[in-house]
Structure 1
């Protein structure tokens, strides 16, 4: 087979596809290198080729002879033997959803990096002796932003400004009015105005992403089957910061037919990000074990000579795994079975291992919910502790019996603590 070199312009990539067609090629294997593979992958896929994206770590050549030509020949040889496993690539709709979600995540990071805009707003208020931060917990909340926008719009009367108080605000109207009596100098209002405008830039861009996401999720919901039952009440009603402005939980329920937020640790926003990374169809992974292995949350299996050399989990930069670890950290503080499992393992093996093990449990619940429509019901921390105690006692009794002893409980201590 002759070797040809092509450029990277779009026209050159179409010439590459034409040459593949002329050579009778039906399947193409390529390495994933940064973002450079994306245009090649998309054009070849559009032209009808079966494209397998390969992790370069899994297709290493023998030492020496390292060049583009030898790498390409080695990749073709491995692919002809069927030794290459393609990386997971979601369908077109989920890939679009993922792109919008990642762009929104970048905007959140940009806004966090420019938190000085909020600090400058607070500084301008302090220079006018408007003690807004003493009467609201967050000046970017509902009450704070209404008052700041009114000041920028020209309102100076503290009686009028106090009426912008949100019903959920703990401070009274009288307290807010007293805090908003200040020295409204033009230069300080000008600084406040510019800081507010810079803050609004990122908020407006995130709102644009939210609109795109809402339309896309609605289209996915119209394509799928309708849910069989009404969406139950949410477990937690508190809205988190930097979450999408539309009702993510209801929108996802219309697409999936299951409520992922029943799994403790998975809020609507985090569940949406997981769908963006893994898709709605998990048949790419035959079992939950395959899924957790792909996430690098399952123990390793490095054995030589019948001896286990290492069972450490593989390092991974998977966004889905990072989201599940975040969920595990959150659920570790809850009074749930998963929280009790996290705390027990954390005290014995350390927080790092507890986070990984709990993230794996959440991943299994996520897989079973999406793949089989399972409805999760938390048994609670108390029941988990009782089950764990029963399992420990049964193991001790079995061990004692094998050694010729009889295990007997202490009278009056029916439920001692087990760690």
Structure 2
């Protein structure tokens, strides 16, 4: 079997096979000979690795993005070398006897031949903002889970508060829940807490609050409320810390908020994932592909197979989808029109993904050019055509409803 040889582009580089407790490093240069060393992952061991690489004239390093284990290695080596963090799927070795040494040699060989494409690794400030924003989302998910548990406790006690109130966890609902947790379970007394428009539903509220509320239910309510309050306090601390980072990129946050549907929270989510330097991405298409919010290409023998979006960056994708839902509630802008046009033909969920893609494209150009979002220029003829299409669609729907009504 012939050995695969590639033209060499980098003069001297190193391939790292990173694990939880060890790092296997292979140095390869213009000569065929290689040198491999194994180091621990303690900071002192990584500093020894840095000295060894510097003494051997290494300029470039490549390693797999193995879980979270690559991050401390990257942090120690980043100031001294040009590092490529590569997707493990892109550097699979040929089948054979797999060892850590052979893996590091293969990575070094691909690195020197210029066949590796590094993943996007933002600067330190953006990485820290990313951790905070993702932690905040996890906390919100935990709070939502606790709220669901609280509603289950109320249902178990046959307290039908959700049947009367639109938002059980609004100000009115929480006042009633707090009184329940403190030991008050008289429906008449609890219904007197109703204010505003809820007073018109006092009779329904009394019926909803009459249940089998035991000491066990009271204990669980107290426990869950304490948990929710604690999570709220932690979220407040995280948000204050996020605001400190956003002060450094206040201009970019303001620019992003000129895009319809993009609030301060969504802007912080976008910046925490892609940063402010759009030079890291060759185009907006590259950014959309990296995010996993655009259709892929999967063609074989002239036939198109599934081209669904990939998992990719789920945090940024959900943030953009939130922005798309916000756009759907706005009026008199191009994105809102596109959302409703797509939702009519393809459904709300697919329309949300498509608008999320457009929001990301707009964010790319806003951050790259450092300019406000500009609404696309639409001629009067196009606007008139849109209105005619809408009228035609609604007329067809009306005719269909009339036909079905006459057949009944």
Q: TM-score, normalised by structure 1?
A: 0.68
**Contact 1:337-1:384 within 8 A present in 2 as well:** no
Distance across 2 between alignment mates of 1:364 and 1:102: 22
CA displacement at 1:95 relative to structure 2: 1.3
> 62-71 vs 172-181, which deviates more?
172-181
Aligned to 1:269: 265
Q: 1:347 to 1:162 in 2, by over 3 A?
A: closer
Distance across 2 between alignment mates of 1:59 and 1:124: 54
Aligned to 2:399: none
Aligned to 1:100: 132
**Contact 1:332-1:343 within 8 A present in 2 as well:** yes
**Contact 1:217-1:255 within 8 A present in 2 as well:** no
Once the two structures are superposed, residues 95-138 of structure 1 have per-residue CA deviations (whole angstroms, 9 ceiling, x without a partner) of 11211221222233334445553124424764xxx664455323
CA displacement at 1:260 relative to structure 2: 3.0
| Structure 2 unmatched ranges of 5 or more | 1-33, 395-408
Distance across 1 between alignment mates of 2:174 and 2:390: 54
Aligned to 1:61: 93
Distance across 2 between alignment mates of 1:151 and 1:207: 22
Aligned to 2:38: 5
Aligned to 1:290: 286
1:122 aligns with 2:154: yes
CA displacement at 1:53 relative to structure 2: 0.8
Aligned to 2:118: 86
Aligned to 2:64: 31
CA displacement at 1:29 relative to structure 2: 1.1
Aligned to 2:382: 387
CA displacement at 1:39 relative to structure 2: 2.4
Please identify which structure carries the higher strand content.
2
Aligned to 2:359: 362
Q: 1:219 to 1:312 in 2, by over 3 A?
A: closer
Matches within 5 A, 1:241-256: 254=250, 256=252
**Contact 2:290-2:312 within 8 A present in 1 as well:** no
Q: Pick from 256, 263, 283: which aligns with 1:260?
A: 256
Distance across 2 between alignment mates of 1:89 and 1:331: 30
| Structure 1 unmatched ranges of 5 or more | 225-253, 392-412
Distance across 2 between alignment mates of 1:344 and 1:156: 50
Q: 1:282 to 1:10 in 2, by over 3 A?
A: same
Aligned to 1:394: none
Matches within 5 A, 1:39-58: 39-45=72-78, 48-58=80-90
**Contact 1:266-1:327 within 8 A present in 2 as well:** yes
CA displacement at 1:358 relative to structure 2: 2.9
Aligned to 2:173: 144
Q: 1:366 to 1:311 in 2, by over 3 A?
A: farther
Q: How many equivalent residue pairs?
A: 358
Distance across 1 between alignment mates of 2:311 and 2:160: 47
**Contact 1:282-1:367 within 8 A present in 2 as well:** yes
Distance across 2 between alignment mates of 1:364 and 1:375: 13
Aligned to 2:18: none
Aligned to 2:16: none
Once the two structures are superposed, residues 247-267 of structure 1 have per-residue CA deviations (whole angstroms, 9 ceiling, x without a partner) of xxxxxxx45352534433434
Q: TM-score, normalised by structure 2?
A: 0.70
CA displacement at 1:183 relative to structure 2: 7.9
